[in-house]
């Protein structure tokens, strides 16, 4: 297993890159979608449709549509970019739902109080509403980060050399199956535990906001 | 409409794949639920060693992607000489995996009941068995129903992963059709639509249960 570790860790770097990029992009993208959902009119309808569409179809199919479908229509993306795009599209839907839950948990009186003080919409959201939302969504966001790390393994299906694909290649080339999978399992457990710990620490830091 | 001709020619094949997807999800959800209930009871009532073992199990399952476990079993089964058809191998892995998440859902259902319910049942002189059967379970299951349904949605979506280890279901069927027709956009969109119909129906049912469970409060 020691012999395999350098190769697996190289794959793990790609896994971590994908996971972090996806998570950071989703933090912004999901917030936009959630705010669009809480607005009125067509935009809310479109955002709601998007969330339902991605939450009720498998990531793998979205990955295939982007990787194989787009290249057929003329603008092909690399495996990594397709994977990143699919991961963001899928998880953006989940992150939006988390924000929406957070936005709904802020009581209507907070909005009224802000308006009564003559705050503009932007000031109201950035200084009153969103800080409370952020503090409340950290535990579910941590879970989402963990599931993003696990989701990156599916990108192996379009031949991106992340950890899962590296493992497959090693097993195919007759390395010891047990060793490879034990190594992969350990690295995934370390990554997901680390994400969990970071989440706990952030939650602790922001506990004052409650 | 001409663009979607490949889809119109092969929708029946995709529907057969969807049948297989449903069969697989159904075969996995039953043992997963049963085991989930048992594990939840171990978590709430079990002795310390059993609970610690459960913690380790939950930690491992929550930290490792399902795809890794499926691939592992796919390579491992021939080595161990266990003569299990791949379909059942996959069903076993998925059941064990989802049982961990199910147990969390049921445990949360049991633990969110107020202490007064337990005290009341005990003060009426109920045995533990009776208390669980007529006081705790009916309420806990009602609370656990909506998250249980979203786990079922996630399980249906997760069956698409078995196509990577070579089993035939909707995702594999659509890949085969794509290889024949070279129309990935249309075919995969069609497959996505079928998944959507299955999962959205389930999700709507979950929302209905959620609304109904709020009535009692």
**Tens of pLDDT, residues B32-79:** 999 999 999 999 988 999 999 999 999 999 899 999 999 988 888 777
Give me the pLDDT at residue B1, please.
62
Give me the pLDDT at residue B66, please.
96
Gap between the Cα atoms of A176 and B187, Å rounded: 38
Question: B199 vs chain A: nearest CA distance in angstroms?
Answer: 5
Give me the pLDDT at residue B209, please.
87
Q: Do residue B195 and residue A156 have CB atoms under 8 angstroms apart?
A: no
Which chain A residue has the Cα nearest residue B162? A60
- Indicate the number of domains in chain A: 1
Q: Do residue B195 and residue A68 have CB atoms under 8 angstroms apart?
A: no
Nearest-CB residue to B63 (from A64, A69, A192): A192
Burial label for A134, CB within 10 Å (0-12, 13-18, 19+), is middle
pLDDT confidence tier of residue A208, bands split at 50, 70 and 90 = low
Which chain A residue has the Cα nearest residue B78? A177
Which chain B residue has the Cα nearest residue A59? B157
| Beta-carbon contacts of residue A109 (< 8 Å; ≥ 6 apart) | none
Give me the pLDDT at residue A70, please.
85
Burial B151-175 (b: 16+ CB within 10 A, else e): bbbbbbbbbbbbbbbebbbbbbbbb
Residue at token pair 């990029």? A21
Q: Do residue B188 and residue A64 have CB atoms under 8 angstroms apart?
A: yes
Q: Do residue B160 and residue A62 have CB atoms under 8 angstroms apart?
A: no
| Beta-carbon contacts of residue A64 (< 8 Å; ≥ 6 apart) | A157, A158, B171, B174, B175, B178, B184, B188
> Hey, what are A164's tokens?
């899962």
Q: Check whether A210 has a pLDDT greater than 80.
A: no
Q: pLDDT for A35-88, tens place per residue?
A: 999 888 899 999 999 999 999 999 999 999 999 988 877 777 899 999 999 999
Give me the pLDDT at residue A92, please.
97
Cβ neighbours of A129 (radius 10 Å): 17
Which CATH number belongs to the domain containing residue A62 in this structure? Answer: 1.10.3720.10
Question: B135 vs chain A: nearest CA distance in angstroms?
Answer: 30
Q: Is A154 on the interface with B (CB under 8 A)?
A: yes
| Residue ranges for chain B with pLDDT beneath 50 | none
Phi/psi of residue A173, each to 5°?
A: -90, 30
Give me the pLDDT at residue A178, please.
84
Model ipTM value? 0.89
CA distances from A208 to A134, A137, A204, B114 (A): 12, 14, 8, 28
Give me the pLDDT at residue A77, please.
86
Give me the pLDDT at residue B216, please.
55
Structural domain range at position A129: 5-209
Which domains, from first to last, does chain B contain?
2-215 (1.10.3720.10)
Angle formed at CA A63 by CA B7 and CA A145, multiple of 5 degrees: 145
Q: Do residue B175 and residue A185 have CB atoms under 8 angstroms apart?
A: no
Q: pLDDT for A17-32, tens place per residue?
A: 999 999 999 999 999 9
pTM: 0.90
Average pLDDT, chain A: 91
Q: pLDDT for A165-203, tens place per residue?
A: 888 888 888 668 888 888 999 999 999 999 999 999 998
Q: A interface mutation test: which of B61, B72, B79, B202 has the most A CBs within 10 A?
A: B72
């Amino acid at each position: 297993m020691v012999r395999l570790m350098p190769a697996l860790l190289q794959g793990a770097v790609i896994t971590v890159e994908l996971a972090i990029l996806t998570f950071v992009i989703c933090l912004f993208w999901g917030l936009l979608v959630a705010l669009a959902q809480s607005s009125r009119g067509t935009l809310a309808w479109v955002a709601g449709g998007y969330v339902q569409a991605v939450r009720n179809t498998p990531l793998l199919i979205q990955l295939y549509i982007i990787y194989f479908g787009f290249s057929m229509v003329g603008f092909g993306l690399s495996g990594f970019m397709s994977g990143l795009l699919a991961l963001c599209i899928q998880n953006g839907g989940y992150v939006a739902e988390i924000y929406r839950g957070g936005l709904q948990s802020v009581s209507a009186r907070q909005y009224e109080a802000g308006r009564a003080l003559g705050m503009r919409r932007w000031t109201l959201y950035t200084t009153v509403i969103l800080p409370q939302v952020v503090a409340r969504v950290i535990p579910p966001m941590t879970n989402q980060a963990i599931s993003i790390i696990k989701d990156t393994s599916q990108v192996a299906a379009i031949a991106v050399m992340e950890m899962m694909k590296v493992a497959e290649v090693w097993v195919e080339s007759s390395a010891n199956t047990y060793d490879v999978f034990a190594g992969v399992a350990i690295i995934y457990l370390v990554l997901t535990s680390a994400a969990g710990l970071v989440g706990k620490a952030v939650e602790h830091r922001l506990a004052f906001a409650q | 409409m001409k663009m979607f001709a490949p889809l119109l020619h092969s929708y029946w094949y995709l529907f057969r794949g969807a049948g297989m997807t449903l069969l697989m999800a159904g075969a996995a959800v039953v043992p997963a639920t049963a085991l989930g209930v048992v594990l939840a009871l171990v978590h709430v009532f079990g002795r310390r060693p059993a609970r610690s073992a459960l913690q380790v199990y939950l930690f491992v399952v929550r930290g490792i992607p399902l795809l890794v476990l499926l691939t592992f079993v796919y390579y491992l089964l021939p080595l161990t000489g266990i003569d299990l058809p791949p379909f059942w191998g996959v069903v076993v892995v998925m059941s064990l995996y989802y049982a961990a998440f199910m147990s969390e859902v049921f445990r949360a259902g049991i633990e969110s009941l107020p202490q007064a319910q337990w005290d009341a049942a005990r003060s009426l002189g109920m045995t533990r068995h009776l208390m669980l059967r007529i006081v705790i379970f009916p309420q806990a299951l009602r609370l656990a129903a909506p998250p249980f349904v979203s786990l079922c949605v996630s399980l249906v979506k997760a069956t698409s992963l078995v196509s990577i280890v070579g089993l035939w279901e909707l995702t594999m069927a659509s890949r085969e059709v794509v290889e024949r027709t070279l129309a990935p956009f249309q075919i995969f969109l069609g497959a996505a639509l079928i998944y959507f119909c299955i999962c959205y129906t389930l999700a709507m049912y979950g929302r209905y249960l959620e609304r109904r469970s709020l009535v009692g409060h």
